[in-house]
Amino acid sequence: MRRVFDFHVHGNFSYKDFREVAFNVGIDFSLDGLLREMREHGVVATAVISLPCGGYWSEVLSLKNCFYPIIGVDSGCLDLGLLDSFIDHVLGVKVYVGYDRIDPRDGRLYELYKFLEDRGKLVVFHTGSLWRRWGGYVRYSHPLNFDDVAVDFPELKIILAHAGFPWVRDAAEVAYKNDNVYVDISGWIEESEEVSEYYLNFLRRELKFLVEYCGEDKVLFGSDWPLCRIGRYLDFVMSIGFEDDVLNKILYWNAVRLVRELGFKPP
Ligand SMILES: [Zn+2]
């Protein structure tokens, strides 16, 4: 079986909104449910993202071994002292600027980027479309915003989550142009959606363009579980017909390289 490293999974099993979404489509949103799906699909490791707020952090920080934590922060109330107390245990932080209605070039966030760059950590930005349930300003999650951050913090590793979907081509340019920028391809399909072959073909063309334009070394597989089953998302990516070595990089080796560069032991 192909080895997979899923770089975008949510681990706050107590979080109401995700519990509801998962329940409605029959996904077992629990640690057991996650481990079962991982086993079924050859997923040997996941980057587990926590929602902002301290209460959610401990739930993700307690996951060990094949789980690599990324901690969500609230751009409106950053506490770098608190972050410093556990930063060694995480790959980096996730920032939800669109949902938080804050410009990613805001001075408060620049302090965070400087902190992360100094500590050799990565920043994951939610980019592209916003979940209607949460609202927010989509102009702040447009991928072009993050070119400024990439240029101003050249040593900071940046992941554009969801590859800026539907502005995939803009995200592709930002990742192509900046050595320190990667994209994850999670979140294009939700489990609750019936997806037509016509729409699937559109998604396949976008993903193919992304990989060809910014290069397969910059693209990380992510499923956005529990918003989509890992198996279904893997089937989508594998249906595109990438060469084996390209697919293996996207599904596994790019993530392995990244965690190693961040000073973690790969799976
Ligand atoms: Zn997500």
> How many Å lie between the centroid of ligand 1 and the Cα of residue 26?
18
> How many Å lie between the centroid of ligand 1 and the Cα of residue 88?
22
State percent of the chain over pLDDT 70.
100
- The predicted structure's pLDDT at residue 60: 87
Average pLDDT score, the chain: 95
> How many Å lie between the centroid of ligand 1 and the Cα of residue 163?
12
Question: What average pLDDT does this structure show over 108-132?
Answer: 96
Give per-residue pLDDT as tens, 9-44.
999 999 998 999 999 999 999 999 999 999 999 999
Task: Check whether 55 has a pLDDT greater than 80.
Answer: no
Question: What average pLDDT does this structure show over 140-165?
Answer: 98
Task: Check whether 65 has a pLDDT greater than 90.
Answer: no
> How many Å lie between the centroid of ligand 1 and the Cα of residue 120?
23
> How many Å lie between the centroid of ligand 1 and the Cα of residue 212?
24
Q: Which fold has domain 4-261?
A: TIM Barrel (3.20.20)
Distances (CA, A) of 13 to 31, 39, 103: 7, 19, 29
Residue type at 62 in one-letter notation: S
- The predicted structure's pLDDT at residue 201: 97
Dist CA 158 CA 175 (whole Å): 9
- The predicted structure's pLDDT at residue 256: 98
Residues 6+ apart with CB under 8 A from 153: 113, 114, 117, 180
Dist CA 168 CA 153 (whole Å): 22
Give per-residue pLDDT as tens, 191-234.
998 999 999 999 999 999 999 999 999 999 999 999 999 999 99
> How many Å lie between the centroid of ligand 1 and the Cα of residue 126?
8
> How many Å lie between the centroid of ligand 1 and the Cα of residue 107?
25
> How many Å lie between the centroid of ligand 1 and the Cα of residue 94?
10
- The predicted structure's pLDDT at residue 131: 84
Long-range contacts of 191-197 (CB under 8 A, 24+ apart): 191/21, 191/25, 191/27, 191/226, 191/227, 191/228, 191/229, 191/232, 192/21, 192/24, 192/25
Task: Check whether 165 has a pLDDT greater than 80.
Answer: yes
What pLDDT band is residue 49 in, cutting at 50, 70 and 90? very high
Task: Check whether 237 has a pLDDT greater than 90.
Answer: yes
Dist CA 267 CA 260 (whole Å): 10
**Structure-token match 């990244």, residue found:** 258
> How many Å lie between the centroid of ligand 1 and the Cα of residue 75?
17
What pLDDT band is residue 72 in, cutting at 50, 70 and 90? very high
Q: At 96, list the tokens.
A: 């939800």
Q: The whole model's pTM is what?
A: 0.96
- The predicted structure's pLDDT at residue 1: 78
Task: Check whether 247 has a pLDDT greater than 90.
Answer: yes
